[in-house]
Chains A and B, each alone.
Chain A
Amino acid sequence: MPEVATQELVLNMGPQHPSTHGVLRLVLRVDGEVVQEVTPHIGYMHRCAEKVGESVTYEMFTPYTDRTDYLAGMNYNLAYAVAVERLAGIQVPERAEYLRVIIAEMNRIASHLVSFGTYGADLGAVTPFLWAFREREMIIDLFEEVCGQRLTYNYIRIGGLSADVPDGWLDKAKRFIDYFELRIREYNDLLTFNPIFVKRTANVGVLPKELALNYGISGPMLRASGVSWDLRRDEPYGVYPRFQFAVPVGDGRMGTVGDCWDRYYIRIREMEESCKIIRQALAALPATGEARAKLARGFKVAAGEMYVRTEGARGEIGFYIIADGNPKAYRMKIRGPSFCNLSVISEISRGAYIADLVAILGSIDIVLCDVDR
Chain B
Amino acid sequence: MKQLFGTIGGIVKGFAVTAKYLFKPPVTVQYPTERKPIPPRFRGLLINDVPRCISCDLCAKACPVDCFTIKHEKSEAGKRKLIQFDINMYKCMFCGLCTEVCPTECLTMTGGYEGATLDRGELIFRFVPTVEHPANFPQPPQVEGGMIGSAVTTRAAVNPAPKPPAAAAAASSSSTPAGGTTAHGVSS
Residues of A within 8 A of B (CB): 56, 59-64, 127, 134, 137, 141, 144-149, 152, 154, 162-164, 166, 186, 189-191, 193-196, 291-292, 294, 297-298
Contact = CB atoms under 8 A, between A and B. Distances in A.
B37 to A, nearest CB: 10
Given A134-B27, A154-B96, A292-B158, A186 B17 contact: yes
Contacts of A291: 158
A152 B94 contact: yes
B97 A189 contact: no
A149 B96 CA distance: 10
Given A149-B42, A149-B43, A163-B157, 4 more contacts: A148-B39, A148-B153, A196-B11, A297-B101
20 contacts: A56-B64, A60-B63, A60-B64, A63-B64, A63-B93, A134-B27, A145-B39, A147-B41, A148-B41, A148-B109, A148-B150, A154-B96, A163-B152, A166-B152, A186-B17, A189-B16, A195-B7, A195-B10, A294-B159, A297-B58
Contact of B62 (A60, A145, A196, A294): A60
A154 B95 contact: yes
Contact of A148 (B16, B43, B58): B43
A191 B10 CA distance: 9
Nearest to B94: A149
A292 B96 CA distance: 16
Nearest to B44: A148
Interface string B149-165: 01011000111000000
Contacts of A164: 157
B86 interface: no
A189 B93 CA distance: 41
Best-buried of B41, B62, B150 by chain A (most CB within 10 Å): B41
Contact of A193 (B10, B16, B63, B101): B10
Contacts of B7: 195
Contacts of A149: 42-43, 94
A195 B97 contact: no
A291 B157 CA distance: 10
B139 interface: no
A134 B27 CA distance: 8
B14 interface: yes
Contacts of B159: 294
Q: Which are the 6 A-B pairs with shortest beta-carbon distances?
A: A148-B43, A63-B95, A60-B64, A195-B7, A148-B41, A195-B10
Nearest to A198: B10
A175 B74 CA distance: 56
Nearest to B3: A195
A39 to B, nearest CB: 34
A141 B38 CA distance: 9
Contacts of A146: 41
Contacts of A145: 39, 41
Interface in B64-90: 64
Contact of A195 (B11, B41, B63, B95): B11
B64 to A, nearest CB: 4
Contacts of A190: 14, 17-18
Contacts of B157: 163-164
Contact of A162 (B14, B63, B100, B109): B100
A152 B93 contact: yes
B14 A191 contact: yes
A61 B97 CA distance: 11
Contacts of B27: 134, 137
Contacts of A163: 41, 152-153, 157-158
A326 to B, nearest CB: 15
B34 to A, nearest CB: 14
A94 B82 CA distance: 42
Contacts of B40: 166
B10 A194 contact: yes
A273 B10 CA distance: 25
Interface string B6-27: 1100110110111000000001
A148 B42 contact: yes
Given A64-B64, A162-B158, A163-B158, A189 B14 contact: yes
Nearest to A55: B64
A137 B27 CA distance: 10
